[in-house]
Amino acid sequence: MSLPFDIKVGGRFVRIARLRNEYYEFLPSPEATIKEELKKVRADLFSFLPQFHKIEPDRSFYSEPDPIAIIPLTTYEHWWKHQISDKTRNMARKAGKKGVTVSVVPFTDDFVKGIMGINNESPVRQGRPYWHYQEDFETVKKENITFLEQCRFIGAYLDSELIGYIKLVLGDQKASIMQILSKIGHRDKAPNNALMAKVVEICCELKIPRLHYASWSRRGLGEFKISHGFQKVDLPRYYIPLSLRGALALKFRLHRNPMAYIPPKWVDQYADLRAKWYDFKYGNARNSSAEAGVKQTALNPALVNREQ
């Protein structure tokens, strides 16, 4: 048999294979036939996650907890009144007061160009180089067209300008935020908060009981998740040895990311230093982008009219 999903392999000393889109696609518990097929992959271990509602570990396979961010949902009213703070509610309202409108939008070429405008605003995001900066149209379209039949794209607009968006992937008893991004220059208008409120509204209308947003996070992104009602849920991450090296790696716990053994305080200090370095390194490029935006506004009466 052949595997129905794409596999990616990473690691140097221990090569670990996993589903390329493991938060959005799932395999049943691998049986012998699947295991034989996986042996054709040049890897030492195969790692996979179960469906999100199956949080009790299957003792047939070795597993370790993998924390993800989940909002348990019932109704929009319950989320709005009981699962978020007054500050978060006020931020979501602020977007509307600033003229931001949020709605489900079709995936068109104009929408892709809007994403490009967000991507190209700055070469640095969250303290590190932004890998989508200055990607061409075809690349951006290809990256965002995945899972199109399962997707809802939600856009935040200031007049006709896309200033933020969410890509939401609908699945079995859950929905996952694959991407949420907005323009740094419009952060004062709280587009991300309005986008999150719209996503929760959509999930509740569809009676989806779980909203997922990547792994559990710390620092700024972690605070954003907590403020919108996300909770830490430990999924079992399973590992299946595909080679002797893989079996030994599991036995001696050599498969884990070395960062897992570093105290969080040291990780935070490193992240702060890295952010300062990239801010210095790419500062001129960011300023040039801002200056280009000012020049574009001066040359485009439509932009001037919108801002007045």
3-state SS track over the chain: CCCCCCEEEECCCCCEEEECCCCCCCCCCCCHHHHHHHCCCCCCEEEECCCCCCCCCCCCCEEEEEEEEEEECCCHHHHHHHHCCHHHHHHHHHHHHCCEEEEEECCCHHHHHHHHHHHCCCCEECCEECCCCCCCHHHHHHHHCCCHHHEEEEEEEECCEEEEEEEEEEECCEEEEEEEEECHHHHHHCHHHHHHHHHHHHHHHCCCCEEEEEECCCHHHHHHHHHCCCEEEEEEEEEEECCHHHHHHHHCCCCCCHHHHCCHHHHHHHHHHHHHHHHHHCHHHHHHHHHHHHHHHHHCHHHHHHHC
Q: Is the whole-model pTM more than 0.75?
A: yes
pLDDT tens figures, 84-133: 999 999 999 999 999 999 999 999 999 999 999 999 999 988 788 899 99
User: What would the pLDDT profile of 151-193 be if each residue is shown by its tens digit?
Assistant: 999 999 999 999 999 999 999 899 999 999 999 999 999 999 9
pLDDT value of residue 208? 97
Least confident of 13-17, 131-135, 239-243, 294-298: 294-298
CATH 3.40.50.300 assigned to 71-232: no
pLDDT per residue as tens digits for the range 28-61: 656 654 666 676 788 999 999 988 888 888 888 8
Q: Where are the domains of the chain?
A: 71-232
